[in-house]
Structure 1
Amino acid sequence: MKKYIKTACDKNIGILTLNRPEVLNALNREMAEEIVSALEHFDQDDSVRVIVITGSGKAFAAGADISEMVNDDAISLELLNQFAVWDRISLIKKPVLAAVHGFALGGGFELALSCDLIFASEQVQLGFPEIKLGVMPGAGGTQRLTKSMGKAKALEWLWTGDTMGAKEALQYGVINRIIPEEVLLDETLGFAEKLTKQAPLSLRLIKEAVNKAVDTSIYEGMQFERKNFYLLFSSLDQKEGMQAFLEKRLPKFEGR
């Protein structure tokens, strides 16, 4: 039984709901482990083709559970290595979408940024308030925000600890779409359902190639892309997709 999250599967979509609404889904260490374990389970489940993360109650996740860290010191944190669990999110091969509403702050924002796409409500508030506590993001926030919006703007938000709204987040490429909150999850699931109709292996290898582009030269990235392009020609889905095109019918992809 999961203590801090809920999971479900519908129409080949794995749905992970953060479920500590009484504390605005603040993330503690046990909850982080539950989240990542659930993502890994979905990633290995052949009935799941796309994963969606959402939050219950009034927020996506309002940050980390400060009460859990207040008495830590540098050595205890180094030995605990609490952020290693977050590194496993980058190993998830399937598309991961975030439906973000209310607050997504600190660790909650880092979780959203760890997803492949972010759909946000009109009233969403995103940010890293860690500087106001005398610390800084530690689960990838400085890195992922900088890659999303560039050095100067990322420093501005990280140094001030201010929150950004949906329009500014969209302007700087931090989120993908702004959606009215009352239909946010439905619209996100609708987009996820579109992806479930695509070839699963293509989704996976496109994600790998795009992630490679973020950290390598154009030449290295193109070599990686080419390798993945060739690999897909050993799949049954490639044969089905091209045959369906020639026969003027919809393909039936199986992820093989």
Structure 2
Amino acid sequence: MSIKSSSVPGSDELVLSGTPSEGVLVLTLNRPSKANSLSKEAVVRLCECLRAAAADSAVRCVVLTGSVRIFSAGADISGMAEHGVDWYLDGERLDRWREIQDFPKPIIAAVNGPAIGGGCELVLLCDIVVAGEEASFSQGEITVGVIPGDGGTQRLPRAVGKSLALQMILTGERISAQRAYEAGLVSEVVPTARTVARAVEIAALIASRPPLSVQLAKRAALAAYALPLAEGLAFERDRVVDVFETEDRAEGMRAFLEKRPPRYVGK
């Protein structure tokens, strides 16, 4: 699949964007000389793209990818080595990670090659993960004397379970795409050449659904990680009430009864 990409204005090509299908935005990490490492500048630029996507009603789903060789090598070790813990504690940097976490529309990670350290943590922030056969995942921070600090110690156990998560965190060793699939980190493993195309196919299907319902469903599902069951069920119920107030809900039910395709407008 060919995606016409362009740099986001002001991005210095740290992130490329493309629109291969209606409602779908593909964002590509683009620091090839640094193995797509996540410098503060790269994370800031990624957030600029996501902020624009959140405000653009034409964008209904985002695909995030790297290159065939590597998804992302993680944090910028040179910056961390030079500035120490101040690099990690930089308020703007931490705010941008929270902004990715709170992005309201679905994000699908299309992973070819390694997702290491912060790269794996970035994958963990995505809602659906499609991996190429040659992809791998690791929390390698321990190998340079630190620990995961952008969510790895919290999200990875939720994704793959305590035993495998601690093995990955404490050894720094990689797991294969197939092992990640078996553990629940990845939803599909596909031939490397099909990774982005398959992610776009899923994104296009999501983009065809009522966008407000999609966003509310994402909020409800993610609440399961933060709330006890009783509170989560109440949160879900409130989101159902929200859905019933939308025009698209009425349109979807009308179309079903009239046996015709629905026409969703995002209201």
Q: What's the TM-score once normalised by structure 2's chain length?
A: 0.92
**1:9 and 2:19 are equivalent in the alignment:** yes
**1:40 and 2:61 are equivalent in the alignment:** no
**1:55 and 2:50 are equivalent in the alignment:** no
Deviation at 1:239, TM superposition (A): 0.8
8 Å Cα contact 1:9/1:48 also seen in 2: no
In structure 2, give the amino acid aligned to 1:9: T
Q: In the aligned structure 2, how far is the partner of 1:75 from the partner of 1:178?
A: 38
Per the alignment, residue 27 of structure 1 pairs with 38
Deviation at 1:73, TM superposition (A): 3.0
User: Identity over aligned residues, as a percent?
Assistant: 36
Q: In the aligned structure 1, how far is the partner of 2:84 from the partner of 2:251?
A: 56
Per the alignment, residue 122 of structure 1 pairs with 133
RMSD of aligned Cα (Å): 1.4
8 Å Cα contact 1:20/1:56 also seen in 2: no
In structure 1, give the amino acid aligned to 2:133: E
**Secondary structure in 2 matching 1:136:** coil
Q: In the aligned structure 2, how far is the partner of 1:62 from the partner of 1:45?
A: 30
The structure-2 alpha-carbon separation of the partners of 1:151 and 1:57, relative to structure 1 and needing over 3 Å to count, comes to closer
Deviation at 1:60, TM superposition (A): 0.9
Moved more, 41-50 or 65-74: 65-74
Per the alignment, residue 72 of structure 1 pairs with 83
8 Å Cα contact 2:101/2:125 also seen in 1: yes
In structure 2, give the amino acid aligned to 1:131: I
Per the alignment, residue 203 of structure 1 pairs with 214
Q: In the aligned structure 2, how far is the partner of 1:153 from the partner of 1:41?
A: 36
8 Å Cα contact 1:199/1:237 also seen in 2: yes
Per the alignment, residue 262 of structure 2 pairs with 251
8 Å Cα contact 2:70/2:112 also seen in 1: yes
**1:94 and 2:109 are equivalent in the alignment:** no
8 Å Cα contact 2:110/2:199 also seen in 1: yes
Q: In the aligned structure 1, how far is the partner of 2:86 from the partner of 2:58?
A: 43
The structure-2 alpha-carbon separation of the partners of 1:67 and 1:21, relative to structure 1 and needing over 3 Å to count, comes to same
Q: In the aligned structure 2, how far is the partner of 1:78 from the partner of 1:116?
A: 26
Q: In the aligned structure 2, how far is the partner of 1:70 from the partner of 1:214?
A: 33
8 Å Cα contact 2:24/2:203 also seen in 1: yes
**Secondary structure in 1 matching 2:93:** coil
**Secondary structure in 1 matching 2:25:** strand
Q: In the aligned structure 2, how far is the partner of 1:76 from the partner of 1:250?
A: 51
**Secondary structure in 2 matching 1:82:** helix
The structure-2 alpha-carbon separation of the partners of 1:2 and 1:226, relative to structure 1 and needing over 3 Å to count, comes to same
Question: What aligned pairs does 1:149-168 form with structure 2 within 5 A after superposition?
Answer: 149-168=160-179
Moved more, 8-17 or 45-54: 8-17
Q: In the aligned structure 2, how far is the partner of 1:76 from the partner of 1:95?
A: 29
8 Å Cα contact 2:114/2:137 also seen in 1: yes
Per the alignment, residue 185 of structure 1 pairs with 196
- Select the residue among 236, 242, 249 that pairs with 2:253: 242
Deviation at 1:22, TM superposition (A): 2.1
In structure 2, give the amino acid aligned to 1:39: L
Per the alignment, residue 83 of structure 1 pairs with 94
Per the alignment, residue 144 of structure 1 pairs with 155
Per the alignment, residue 229 of structure 1 pairs with 240
Q: In the aligned structure 2, how far is the partner of 1:78 from the partner of 1:105?
A: 20
8 Å Cα contact 2:211/2:266 also seen in 1: yes
The structure-2 alpha-carbon separation of the partners of 1:179 and 1:89, relative to structure 1 and needing over 3 Å to count, comes to same
In structure 1, give the amino acid aligned to 2:85: A
8 Å Cα contact 1:49/1:200 also seen in 2: yes
In structure 1, give the amino acid aligned to 2:15: I
In structure 1, give the amino acid aligned to 2:228: S
The structure-2 alpha-carbon separation of the partners of 1:114 and 1:247, relative to structure 1 and needing over 3 Å to count, comes to same
Unaligned stretches of 5+ residues in structure 2: 1-9
In structure 2, give the amino acid aligned to 1:46: S
8 Å Cα contact 2:44/2:93 also seen in 1: no
